[in-house]
Amino acid sequence: MTSPDNLPEVPDAQVPDVPQAQEPPVARHGMFGAQDSGDTSGYGGLVVRRQPQLATPRPYGSYFDEIVDSLGLDDAIERVVVDRGELTLHVKRERLVEVSQKLRDDPALRFELSLGVSGVHYPYLTGEELHAVYHLCSITHNRRVRLEVSCPDSDPHIPSTVGVYPGHDWHERETYDFFGIVFDGHPALTRIMMPDDWDGHPQRKDYPLGGIPVEYRGATIPSPDQRRSYS
């Protein structure tokens, strides 16, 4: 039996030298439109550390390198991120349909199933505050990939991908309804959850919380901006 003293020396694993962009913590006050002590949402004074926007260097690992190489549209990809065993391709918005089409139709890729479209609002990312996220699955190769596309608040337009994935019809409508992203080329981009005359987009982080009392089991609960403060 070999003693621990006689074991060969194993060199340390080579860890890619990825720059860690440090940003100061952000103290958020008066979230969801509440500007006084009536904010009982728990967000008042919350300190959030911003995640740096990093690109993962090659090799990506797993089947991720093969996906990027098979796609081959390097000029359409802003950056590649591998995190927690998942691959995300940040795509230029004007190239989204082209990238989606190749991911679906190329025999080496065959991402024939989309699991939907969702939105994200990053108020602090100047010029790319709104993001649309697409989760694609290859039944043929048993693989997954995520696409992410950004646009600014001042120009909230992203091309519709309904022509590639018809199931995106209602998903794009919901993302428009809740985040205000306009999907150009959508066959009928109207609200799907909120009334047609609803003001604003409720899942944006700058959307006011409350202002409308809610009836619950026979009792009326005041709107968040009218509740007493617990601080």
How confident is the model over 22-49, as pLDDT tens digits? 556 665 555 555 555 555 555 555 556 6
2 vs 181, more confident: 181
Using alpha carbons, select from 167, 99, 111, 165 the residue that is nearest to residue 138.
Answer: 111
Q: What is the mean pLDDT of residues 124-151?
A: 96
| Mean per-residue pLDDT of the chain | 83
Q: How far apart are CA 212 and CA 193, in angstroms?
A: 17
* Of 46-50, 70-74, 88-92, the least confident: 46-50
How many residues belong to the chain?
Answer: 231
Q: Is the pLDDT of residue 10 over 50?
A: no
Beta strands in the chain (DSSP E): 26-28, 46-48, 77-83, 86-91, 113-121, 130-138, 143-151, 157-159, 182-184, 214-216, 219-221
Lowest mean pLDDT among 47-51, 83-87, 115-119, 149-153: 47-51
Distance, CA of 136 to CA of 7 (rounded, Å)? 46
pLDDT band at 217 (very low <50, low <70, confident <90, very high): confident
Rounded distance, CA 115 to CA 124, Å?
A: 28
The backbone torsions φ and ψ at residue 91, rounded to the nearest 5 degrees and listed phi first, read -105, 140
93-113 confidence digits (pLDDT tens): 999 999 999 999 999 999 999
Q: How many CB atoms are located within 10 Å of the residue 173 CB?
A: 21
Residue 220 has what pLDDT? Answer: 76
| DSSP string for residues in 45-89 | TEEEPPPP---PPSP--TTHHHHHHHH--GGGEEEEEEETTEEEE
Report the pLDDT averaged over residues 127-150.
97
Task: Say if strands 219-221 and 130-138 run parallel, antiparallel, or are unpaired.
Answer: unpaired
Walk me through the domains of the chain, giving residue ranges and CATH numbers: 53-204 (3.30.460.80)
Indicate if the pLDDT at residue 78 is higher than 50: yes
